[in-house]
Structure 1
């Protein structure tokens, strides 16, 4: 069974959610649909066209969009919770949705008011799904200036969303300068070639393979944040990294929550007590009780920190012109702390659940390994040791993290 064959509700007949609680509940409905065949879809690793259609039909893709154009009109703390809820069922789709939110918001982070108002209105009206080809570890895409037009050429080894997206965010450097340019282009542009080479152990449905960019043409007027070919800088421009890092935090925690809830259900119904333990039910085994208590306490703590940091970060999005380097740096330190906790807790939960579920739970049919594979794959995105260093250097030396592609 695939997601395309699952009979979900007729979303068009449902009222659009209005409150954060209603949007999180809508995400829970989507998650329930995804959970019904998550193991099979993970094994097949097929391009998730149907899954993205589900995100569109349910309205989740419009969550951050302006209400007057058909969007949800919600804020980032709600978006993070929605990502977490979807990731409980499917880490890949949680990642895709979180990246979509970031790239949709990137127009506001980097662009002029005229640019981002246009992008957000079009995205909400048309339910665009965003992908991005902005991997900073690769050589920069080179941009040629041809008067009124920019021409992008290069290759990126990662392009999350790729074929399932409607639009793709490109980034490159103007030839002969150090000026970076972001622009949004149709994902069907003939100059974009997606190579279908994403073949990792986890996050298998994220369509994160490489892309070749060949003579993709963009009008200068669409170069985000540029006026008369000059960039208009703000400290707020650098909030893309803390924002996406909080996306990571929340789909890690969502994966961990999914692993824990799935394991608890398995233990309640199928785990057998140890024959020498003196108990008739696995749920009465003291060491099993201890494992679930320990993992739950750790996860609840990490979730609480993530929610608190998300609320702290809301001020920056509501007051973009008041963001200072000091405030931005201190927020990044808090985000780093949430990232450290989420990484360590998610890996621990996804790995230790087997101690409580037992040997029979390791069959491929159960698919419990997918939680660990998913969180292990993406937590290698950038070394968590450097997040700990950001915190320590700030506390001991009062040095703020320098804004980079990773901090």
Structure 2
């Protein structure tokens, strides 16, 4: 991977507008795209790729400007994730998850907690990982004086070895209270395993983690004051917020698949010998498929951008978020998630119809787009997203806030 562009970023002014940040992300994506297929096959831990994100300033996009951050909002972050995922779905996921965990303290914690975390993260260019798999209920949190001890195991810990800090989640012993805390990724007792061996999103470092009496002060427990959690409706926005992260890198992967396929079609695909055309780009069915897939992608991108703008209004006034507003937003997110899933799977599969048999060569790496989308879209069943929308339409029913809705 070339580092020339990375060096150049150190001497250029930081982006200011949303458009400038998205353009910076496109520059990073161009570097990533150069050897994306090769890196996917190698499956090496993406230390260099994460450093690229740091050098470009993307990791501090949401951070406070007074501490060196970009001071931008979620709609911009989602677009940046989309750009990165066009080149590399794994790195797009890592960056999107980083943004969510970077804002976890603001979503769940007290003002004092999140102001401290966001300042430190921006100053030190922390990259966040998270050991927060809600289906694993085997992390127990115990008290030890003024400290908490996290003990157990999580099957998935996205970011793991490439992160500077990790968000831990567990259940306080003897209660049903969940506790979130941010700890250094090299903390004693935190062991990341090299057991992520899936068909897609190969570079996300999403393997399991053993958590053996990882110690952190009670004061780091997000949202707890005097050992009592302070609930707000805003706390529950973490789910629709990360679901839009998912949507963003699904759309990015789909867009990257279309762009890569179009380049292949223009330069390598041969016209069909019985079609009557000298060039593949003049084949009517090829033109039709590209037009169809592009229209579908643009439509769901427009929906997603609109939903992201709606969500930002809630983030701007966290104490004013009501159950109704939160529920309506989740339904809109569910609709975007359903459409993005279907469109990304269709695009990443159908590109082979317009690139031809030779495009299936391993060296081309076109299969990585479908493998990446197929792997992550199984995170939670899309049928349940459509159910949220259907129940809202028929009965005005709001989705119950859970780990997935």
TM-score (norm 2): 0.99
1:370 aligned partner: 368
Q: What is the alpha-carbon distance in structure 2 between the residues aligned to residue 289 and residue 195 of structure 1? A: 46
Q: 1:169 aligns with which of 167, 170, 174?
A: 167
| Secondary structure at the counterpart of residue 141 of structure 2 | strand
Q: 2:58 aligns with which of 57, 60, 65?
A: 60
Q: 2:16 aligns with which of 15, 18, 37?
A: 18
Q: 1:136 aligns with which of 134, 137, 145?
A: 134
Q: 1:339 aligns with which of 331, 337, 340?
A: 337
Structure 2: gaps (5+ residues)? none
How far did 1:300 drift? 0.4
2:348 aligned partner: 350
| Secondary structure at the counterpart of residue 337 of structure 2 | helix
1:256 aligned partner: 254
1:290 aligned partner: 288
Q: 1:8 aligns with which of 5, 26, 44?
A: 5
Query: For the aligned residues, what is the CA RMSD?
Result: 0.7
How far did 1:276 drift? 0.3
Structure 1: gaps (5+ residues)? none
| Secondary structure at the counterpart of residue 365 of structure 1 | helix
Q: What is the alpha-carbon distance in structure 1 between the residues aligned to residue 187 and residue 215 of structure 2? A: 9
How far did 1:147 drift? 2.1
Are 2:142 and 2:172, in contact at CA under 8 Å, matched by a contact in 1? yes
Q: Which moved more, 1:390-399 or 1:256-265?
A: 390-399
Cα displacement string for residues 250-273 of structure 1 (whole angstroms, at most 9, x for unaligned residues): 000000000000000110111111
Runs of 4+ in 1 over 6 A off after TM superposition: none
Q: What is the alpha-carbon distance in structure 2 between the residues aligned to residue 70 and residue 105 of structure 1? A: 16
Q: What is the alpha-carbon distance in structure 1 between the residues aligned to residue 3 and residue 201 of structure 2? A: 21
Matched, 1:76 2:93: no
1:271 aligned partner: 269
* Number of residue pairs aligned between Structure 1 and Structure 2: 404
How far did 1:139 drift? 1.9
